[in-house]
Amino acid sequence: MTALTDEAAPRTGATPRGGRWIDHWEPDDDRFWAATGRRVAARNLVFSIFTEHLGFCVWLLWSIAVLNLADNGVRLSVGQTLWLTTLPNLVGAAMRIPYTFAPARFGGRNWTVVSALLLFVPCGLFVYAIENPGIPYWALLLIAATTGLGGGNFASSMANITHFYPTGRQGLPLGLNAAGGNLGTSVTQLAMPPLITAFGLVAVGWVWMPLILLAAVSAYFFMNNLTKATSAYTLREMGAGARDGQTVVMSVLYIGTFGSFIGYSFSFGVLIKNTFPDITGSHFIWLGAFAGSLARPFGGWLADRFGGARVTMVNFFLMGLGVAAVAVSVRAGSWPMFLAAFLFVFVTTGVGNGSTYRMIPAIFRARELAEVDQSDGAATERALTRARRTAAAAIGIISAVGAAGGVLIQQTFRISIEETKGIAPALLILAAFYGVCVLLTWFFYLRKVRVGQTRMSLAEAGV
């Protein structure tokens, strides 16, 4: 057994598997958590964030590249430009399903190494595309699609880190993990313009490669696999989760939060260029993703403190107001108002990302505990185990649907621009959608229903 396995060694006789595997892991045991669990979890969180961050950086390559393709000899219509940023989003959403299973199948540390190395593929192909500007548009689409591998990293990272932390304290670490990844969006959009000016567009592909190698090596030496997590859930359980009403509802809500964040992040530069053509969009597009990323752990913290459902409902109301303010700014032709309102919307997407993600395990935990006698410790432990497995399977589906929702956001803007030459109709549709999300959150999680002899809401049960 290695030293890293020893530091989380069992109090009773579990058999170590060797290598970077930990066979005994009980984060809900306060003594275990204080003695070794917190330290091991924090180390794995740090390197998980690093790899996921690079995944987002690569995923968003084309959101900045499309603003500079004309200077590289590639001229595209607005519709073609939006498709180059939409396809990576769509592929990234699809990749979240297999990536969710990967840590359970191969080990969280092992898969982090593999998923980091896979990022060389889109970076290498990006370099090829920029050095060969005459390649056909369909080839550009295929090359852009490979950046979706970076979008899959989010699902595997979140699924892995969930197992390291106690059930009641997952909001903040999951928020930090997600925020660290989400910040890759703004880092790409902030760092690339000066890099392009200095070294040309091709540098956007080369710059990430040494960092990708560093992430893979770091994960190999400093992360762990959890034996307990390898039996987390099965494909059959994920299929059952897809039919679960709670999974369906939370998928819609996650479209509203994460779908909005990633959809706006991919589209923000194009929206600025279309609405305010005299403004250099590349100077500002990073601000949105940056604001949303920083707000995500705050949303998780608020959810831990006040309940995910309460925070989520209020947040959707604020999202609707924010989008309405963007529409007013478009009508008034005010760039400062447009930027301020859109940044407010980005902040609310981040808060909502944190609060909705905190809701998912809490929903299944509350449902399972409601069906057992909690004075029976063994029955309670079995219920908590079922809740973890069900929530882990549901998270894979919900995160995939939420990312796919970003495609819907982008296409709403594309159709609005092509049909009306502006984005105001799309903004009104989005404001109405956020209103629907307010109602869904209240109806399913804040409305009181009869549970046994009492009336209570899921929010009162800890959701």
pLDDT in tens, 7-39: 444 443 233 455 589 988 988 888 999 998 999
CATH fold match for the domains 1-232 and 238-463: yes
* pLDDT: which is higher, 392 or 422: 422
CA distances from 230 to 21, 106, 112, 155 (A): 11, 7, 14, 16
The answer on pLDDT for 1 being more than 70 is: no
pLDDT score recorded for residue 235: 66
pLDDT in tens, 255-273: 999 999 988 988 888 899 8
pLDDT score recorded for residue 70: 82
Q: Decide: 331 and 279 in contact? Cβ < 8 Å.
A: no
Query: What mean pLDDT do residues 327-343 have?
Result: 95
Give the separation between CA 323 and CA 342, rounded to whole angstroms: 7
For residue 62, the tally of other CB atoms under 10 A from its CB is 29
Mean residue pLDDT of the chain comes to 86
Q: Which two tokens stand for residue 269?
A: 């530069």
1-232: CATH homologous superfamily?
MFS general substrate transporter like domains (1.20.1250.20)
Give the separation between CA 273 and CA 279, rounded to whole angstroms: 7
Q: Which of 313, 325, 321, 324 is nearest to 351 (CA)?
A: 313
Residue 452: pLDDT band by 50, 70, 90 thresholds?
low
Instruction: Report strand pairing: 449-451 vs 454-456.
Output: antiparallel
pLDDT in tens, 371-420: 777 677 777 878 777 777 777 778 878 888 988 888 889 889 989 988 88
Q: Where are the domains of the chain?
A: 1-232, 238-463
Q: Which two tokens stand for residue 126?
A: 């990006």
CA distances from 214 to 16, 72, 116, 208, 219 (A): 28, 30, 9, 10, 9
Of 232-236, 383-387, 394-398, 427-431, where does the model show the most confidence?
427-431
Helix (H, G, I), strand (E, B) or coil at 399: helix
Q: Which two tokens stand for residue 202?
A: 């091709």
pLDDT score recorded for residue 345: 97
Contacts of residue 190, Cβ cutoff 8 Å, sequence gap at least 6 = 286, 290
CA distances from 447 to 35, 58, 306, 313, 458 (A): 41, 42, 16, 12, 8
CATH code: domain 238-463 is 1.20.1250.20
pTM over 0.85: no
Rounded to the nearest 5 degrees, what angle is found at the Cα of 367, between the Cα atoms of 349 and 158? 40
For residue 126, the tally of other CB atoms under 10 A from its CB is 24
pLDDT score recorded for residue 453: 54
Query: What mean pLDDT do residues 316-336 have?
Result: 95
363 φ/ψ angles, rounded to the nearest 5 degrees: -60, -50
pLDDT score recorded for residue 46: 95
* pLDDT: which is higher, 159 or 425: 425
Query: What mean pLDDT do residues 56-63 have?
Result: 89
pLDDT score recorded for residue 143: 95
Write out the H or E segment, with its range, that includes residue 5. helix 3-6
* pLDDT: which is higher, 72 or 199: 199
Q: Which of these ranges, 19-23, 234-238, 439-443, has the smallest mean pLDDT?
A: 234-238
The answer on pLDDT for 429 being more than 50 is: yes
Give the separation between CA 60 and CA 25, rounded to whole angstroms: 35
Give the separation between CA 279 and CA 335, rounded to whole angstroms: 8
Q: Decide: 449 and 455 in contact? Cβ < 8 Å.
A: yes
The answer on pLDDT for 69 being more than 60 is: yes
